[in-house]
Amino acid sequence: MTIAPLDLASLLCSRLCHDLLSPVGALSNGLELLADEKDPDMRQRCFELLEQSARASADKLRFFRLAFGAGSGFGESIPLHEPRAVIDALVSGNGRITANWALTGDSMPKPAVKALLNLAMIGIEALVRGGTLDIAAETRDSGNGLVSEIVVRAAGPRIAFDPVVGQALDGSLSSDALSSKTAPAYMIQQLAAVLGGGLQYHVSADALVLGAMLPAS
């Protein structure tokens, strides 16, 4: 299944807006409370809530800038500390997830970084009751050119993984099932297909493993 680039962009924008609605809404509510609150202790609590909401909004914007947009300019590669920083920020904001990293090298091609970020997002969303997020990535010489390999493992109680996201990852999703929820997975599936690579996943009751192999463009 293929869709028009404009339609995909619209769905990705919808996803971004959906994820930002909660922290931005909390900012608005906090400002309203602060305007009416006179008690010093409650005002201090309002300031703390405003700070948390502002941080969450900024963290999500930085993540989506790299995951969906032209983050880090127009170069062909991105330093690995950038995706690690934005994922660590999302995980720390969750409070119930621990991220473990195994990265080889200082940078990866931009398409591989987009795949890493979107697979990590899927892993985070699967950990509804908390758990661990293990991320490994490297770019190596396969003998026929450079290849980026990425593995994301989300482990925890009662993994939540929507089968339609899996269909978007393996390319079997029907056009009527494409939505803002499945658009990120569809985007990286199309990216992998264009590069001659592939995505795979395996889900069980307590773990979700996601993988990508992408030839360097």
At a CB cut-off of 8 Å and minimum separation 6, what does 183 contact? 8, 11, 12, 14, 15, 168
pLDDT one-digit tens code per residue, 22-31: 888 877 877 7
Helices (H), the chain: 5-36, 40-67, 81-94, 110-126, 163-170, 183-195
Percent of the chain residues topping a pLDDT of 90: 58
The token duo for 168 is 């978007």
**pLDDT for the residue numbered 50:** 83
Q: How far is CA 162 from CA 44, 78, 185, 194, 199, in A?
A: 40, 30, 11, 25, 16
User: Residue 186 above 80 pLDDT?
Assistant: yes
pLDDT one-digit tens code per residue, 6-15: 888 899 999 9
User: Residue 151 above 60 pLDDT?
Assistant: yes
3-state secondary structure string across 147-171: EEEEEEEEECCCCCCCHHHHHHHHC
Confidence of residue 202 (pLDDT cuts 50, 70, 90): very high
**pLDDT for the residue numbered 72:** 57
**pLDDT for the residue numbered 145:** 86
User: Residue 67 above 90 pLDDT?
Assistant: yes
Q: How far is CA 190 from CA 19, 49, 196, in A?
A: 23, 39, 10
User: Residue 71 above 70 pLDDT?
Assistant: no
pLDDT one-digit tens code per residue, 111-139: 999 999 999 999 999 999 999 999 999 99
Length of the chain: 217
Domains and CATH numbers, the chain: 5-215 (3.30.565.10)
Angle at 160 between CA 187 and CA 149, to 5 degrees: 45
pLDDT one-digit tens code per residue, 30-64: 777 777 777 788 778 878 888 888 888 889 999 99
Confidence of residue 78 (pLDDT cuts 50, 70, 90): very high
Cα distance between residue 92 and residue 108, in whole Å: 24
